[in-house]
Amino acid sequence: MNLTQLLTRSVILSLLLLSPTAFAQTFSFTAIPDQDASALQKRFDKVARYLSRELAIDVKYVPVKSYAAAISAFRNNQVQLAWFGGLSGVKARNLVPGSEAIAQGVEDQSFVTYFIAHHAAGLTSRETFPLSIKNKTFTFGSKGSTSGRLMPEYYIRQYLEAPKQAFKRVGFSGDHSRTIALVQAGSYEVGAVNFKVWHKMLEAGKIDPNLVKIIWQTPAFPDYQWSIRGDVEQVFGKGLKAKVAAALLDMSDPELLKSFPRQGFISAQNSDYAPIKKTAQAIGLMD
């Protein structure tokens, strides 16, 4: 074997010994698809540009088609950072040792779900759980949503019974925007929706109060958060985790915050989401 062949073999062996992530050039993040894809792309491309400036590295937003796909992308290191809901964040961090919740929206400390109803359902707004939704048609959001499935199902089971027994027909719309559209159209009599999406769509004139209204809101619970992989600094250098957290906490551009929509971001930690894990276990959505 000549010198050139020896050098070639040496280079190949060195490359094989490197972690696959050692070749990563771009810091990537994703977000659960809680609204329509075009709105998310526009919103998170802005966030990517902001993070690129703040971190002085290339940052890319990677869209996904489902909550499960967001978790898979995080688990497989296709993304190093993710804007998760409460439940999806707990599930993702369980799959990636050392991963941390590093920031949450101010509103995410005390998030709520609205139960909304089409006017033809004949339901009235109330402060206590609306027992009269029994035997109506009902749609959740995504199967993996905290505000669109986990928490509403928990209260439905507490006050009525399992959804399939409680309702005439049960659906999963896929996202909060779709839930509102389906209930407003009368395709379902009642639905469960993220309160932030409701208010954003109401302000945008996409909700007709003569057709659909809020009939109840759940007690508060912790929800959305930014989670980062535990091994991120092995690729992007020591201190990156703190830099990412600082960039998120310092986000103050009204246009960026409006796109979430959030007043701003505050520090978060994994223990903040212990109630979500406990609730998911209680209704069989997590082991």
Q: Which of 217, 232, 264 is the last residue of a domain?
A: 217
Whether the model pTM is above 0.75: yes
Q: Determine, yes or no, domain membership for 205.
A: yes
- 165 with 144, same domain: the answer is yes
Domain co-membership, 103 together with 229: yes
> Buried (b) or exposed (e) across 253-270, using 16+ Cβ within 10 A?
eeeebebbebeebeebeb
One digit per residue, the tens of pLDDT, for the chain of length 287 reads 555 454 445 544 444 444 444 444 899 999 998 777 777 888 899 999 999 999 999 999 999 999 999 999 999 999 999 999 999 999 999 999 999 999 999 999 999 999 999 999 999 999 999 999 999 999 999 999 999 999 999 999 999 999 999 999 999 999 999 999 999 999 999 999 999 999 999 999 999 999 999 999 999 999 999 999 999 999 999 999 999 999 999 999 998 998 788 999 999 999 999 999 999 999 999 88
Assess if residue 15 is contained within a domain: no
> What's the domain range around 121?
112-217
What secondary structure, in 3-state letters, does 34-73 show?
Answer: CCCHHHHHHHHHHHHHHHHHHHCCCEEECCCCCHHHHHHH
Give domain status of residue 1, yes or no: no
Tokens of 213: 């209204």
Q: How is the beta sheet containing 169-172 ordered, strand by strand?
A: 169-172, 137-140, 190-194, 113-118, 212-217
Which amino acid is it at 58?
D
- On whether both 142 and 278 belong to a single domain, the answer is no
Asked whether residue 7 is assigned to any structural domain, the reply reads no
Read off the CATH number of the domain in which 169 is found.
3.40.190.10
Q: Are residues 65 and 201 in the same domain?
A: no
